[in-house]
Amino acid sequence: MIYEVAADPLSSNSLNVPASLAASLGIENNKMLSLSYGRRKLQVTVNNIQSIKEDQILVSENVIKELLMDTKAKYEIIFSGEEILIGPVIGLLLGKTEKKLEQYLKNYLVYTMLYEQINGVLFVFCENQIDFSNECITGYLYDPSLPENWRKGVLPFPGAIFRRVELSNNSLKGLQEKMGNRFFNAQYFDKWQFWNWLSPYKELKKHLAETTNKVSIANVDKYIDLYNGVYLKPKGGSRGKGIYYITKTENQYLVMENYQEEIRTLSKEDMINYLSRYSFYLLQQPIKLQTFEGRKVDYRVMLQKNDTGNWQCTGIIARFGNTNSISSNFKANGFALEGTMALRTQFGYDELSAFKKYQEIINLCIKMACKVDEIAGNYADLGIDVGIDQDNKIWVIEMNKRPDHDFPLIIKDRKMYYQVKSNPVLYAKYIAMGK
C-alpha cells in the first residue's frame, strides 16, 4: 500500500500510523524504533491511531526537518527488526554540472516510466550538488503532478545511487564511504583492470584475449609469433577509436589504424620509437572472429539487474562492422541486428541452435559480471562485447561499465530501450528498500 506523509506540529519525535498498518507490520503501540529515510535515521515513538486515514501517516515536524523528508511524495513502508523504513529514496547521478542537468531534464523522464511501480522519491543530481559537510544533496525530484515534471529540493543521501557520469576522486571516495554497495556502478575500470580481475580464473581466462600492459618491441614480436599479429589498444578507449593492428613481413612492421585505409611500414628502429609514444596502451591477442560478408561482427550483451536483484539479459544486439575496419564498430558504415536474428544470419543456425548459443553467451557474461561484483563492488548495468570465432568459441572482448543505452534504438526496438532505461531504477528500489 502507498502512504501519504503529513506533518504533525503537535508532537515531537513521533510517527503516528493507522492501527491497521501497525497490525499488519506487527508494531506495538508506543514502541521506540529507528525511522529510516534515505541514509538518515532517527529514533521515534510509533503510535497506533485509529482515527488516521488508512493511507496516511503523521510525522512530527522536527522528524521531517531532521530527515529532510519530502512530504509531497507517496511512499511504501517496510518494518524489519527494530527499524521502520519509509521510501524508496533513489538518486540518479546523471549530470556533470547543474547547468547541463537542467538542460537535459526532459531527456531524463525516460528513467521515470515505471514510477508507479517505484513510488517514493526519484531524483536526478550532479556532482556539484553533493554536500558532504551537511550530508545532503540538492536535486530535481520527479513529480508527475507538475506540468514540468520536476521540482528542485534538498534531500538526504538516498537509499541507492545509480552513477552515469565521471566523478572527481574526492566525490567518488566520499560517496563510496557514505553509500557502500548502495552506490552501484560506482567504480569505473579499464581494459587492463578487467583483464587483471578475471584472468586468474581458468574457466573465465579461456574466453579472454591474452593481454599485457608492457608495450615493447619484444612483446610485439612475441604476440606476432604466437598469433600472427597484435592489437595496440588504449586502456579506456571506446567505439573502436585509437586501435592499431600490427603485423610483420620479413624485417618490417605493418601498422593499420582502425577506419583508415593507409598502412604504415616501419623498420624495427622506427617501430621502437613508434611504440614509445604508446607506452600507456595495451597489447592484445587478435581473435579470428567469424566474419559475415567480410565484416567483423560482435555482440553487445546488455546485462542488468532489476527488481529481483539478480543479473539478467535485457537484450543482445550484434554489430556488423565496416568492411574496411579492424573492429566491429557498426557506426562506421556498418549495421546492427537483434542477437538471435544475427546468430541465424551470421552462422546459418536454425532456431534451436541460435537459442542455445544465445543462452551460452548470456551464461558466460553473467559468470563474469558476478566475479566483477565480488572483486570490485556492486554493478547493475553493464554492456559486454562478445565475439564468436571460426570454431564457434565465445570470446569476451570488453566489459563497459557505462554502456550506451541507445543501442536498442539502432534496431528500432523501443520496448528493449525502455527496459534498458528502467531496470537500473528498479534495482535501485530493490536495494533502497533494504533488500
Phi, psi for 68 (deg, rounded to 5): 55, 45
**pLDDT for 240:** 61
pLDDT for 420? 98
Neighbour-count burial of 176, counting CB atoms closer than 10 A to its CB (0-12 exposed, 13-18 middle, 19+ buried): middle
Q: What are the DSSP calls for 5-29, one per residue?
A: EEEETT-SSEEEEEHHHHHHHTPPT
Q: Which parts of 143-221 are beta strand (E)?
A: 150-156, 160-163, 183-184, 211-212
Please name the helix (run of DSSP H) or strand (run of DSSP E) that holds residue 126, with its range, or none.
Answer: strand 121-126
User: Is the separation of the CB atoms in 84 and 46 below 8 Å?
Assistant: yes
Give CA angle at 252 (246, 256), nearest 5°: 30
Where does residue 259 fall: left (phi above 0), alpha (psi -120 to 50 degrees), or beta otherwise?
Answer: left
d(Cα 338, Cα 301) in Å, to the nearest integer? 11
Burial of 143 (0-12, 13-18, 19+ CB in 10 A): buried
Q: What's at 402, amino acid-wise?
A: R
Taking the chain (435 residues) in consecutive chunks of 10 residues, what is each chunk's mean pLDDT? 94 93 91 96 93 93 98 95 95 94 95 96 97 97 96 98 95 96 94 96 97 97 97 80 90 87 92 95 94 92 97 96 58 82 96 97 98 95 96 95 94 97 98 88
Residue 289 pairs in a beta bridge with 389
pLDDT of amino acid 49: 87
Distance CA 361, CA 141 (A): 38
242 Rama sector, left if φ>0, alpha if ψ -120 to 50, beta otherwise: left
Can you list the domains of the chain with their CATH numbers? 3-87 (2.40.40.20), 89-184 (3.40.50), 210-284 (3.90.70), 289-432 (3.30.470.20)
CB atoms within 10 A of CB 114: 17
Q: Return the SS3 of 220.
A: helix
Burial of 377 (0-12, 13-18, 19+ CB in 10 A): middle
